[in-house]
Chain A
Amino acid sequence: DTGVSQDPRHKITKRGQNVTFRCDPISEHNRLYWYRQTLGQGPEFLTYFQNEAQLEKSRLLSDRFSAERPKGSFSTLEIQRTEQGDSAMYLCASSLVPGPQETQYFGPGTRLLVL
């Protein structure tokens, strides 16, 4: 079983630039989640999809952030006009629902540094 994959693994950008990250979930998983993790902290929820529908967004997801999952498979997370405060690890997770033991499985993350 192929796990969750994310691309790129690392991204360095200059303030004000746009960046886009991709997440490929475990095949057949219908839920996909995005989290953000800053240094020394636990991951914080950003948003999640069930199939192609975005069902919940955190207050952390400002209007500079947009996420899509157009065909219910892979997802993209775009950050426009990046700020230094956006520097973090962006983690993607997927799960299968319904299921008696629903568990989110995480990818390796994309580490973003905004200069």
Chain B
Amino acid sequence: DVVMTQTPLSLSVTPGQPASISCKSSQSLVHTDGKTYFFWYLQKPGQSPHLLISEVSNRFSGVPDRFSGSGSGTDFTLKISRVEAEDVGVYYCMHSIQLPRTFGQGTRLEIK
């Protein structure tokens, strides 16, 4: 199974400041079709997970442009350029390069 390792596991950020979350996979997430099967999610308190980014850097519809994804192969990063109060919750990375799909442990973001 592909192991997804997120760091840090928690973040406390002042509104308006940037934030960054790393996710490393135990093997390459680049498929033979050339696409990278990697996703970022945000689960706000009491809600279901919401897709933020797919295929490393493609923001899902309605996701603010302060969210950006980057990386390749096995190393990926989610950046929030200016954190807002509504960004609190747990961020997860996930792959679908093979079965089983697996998630990172989650990174809890709180506002200072």
Tell me whether A and B are bound partners: no
> A: which residues have CB within 8 A of B?
none
> B: which residues have CB within 8 A of A?
none
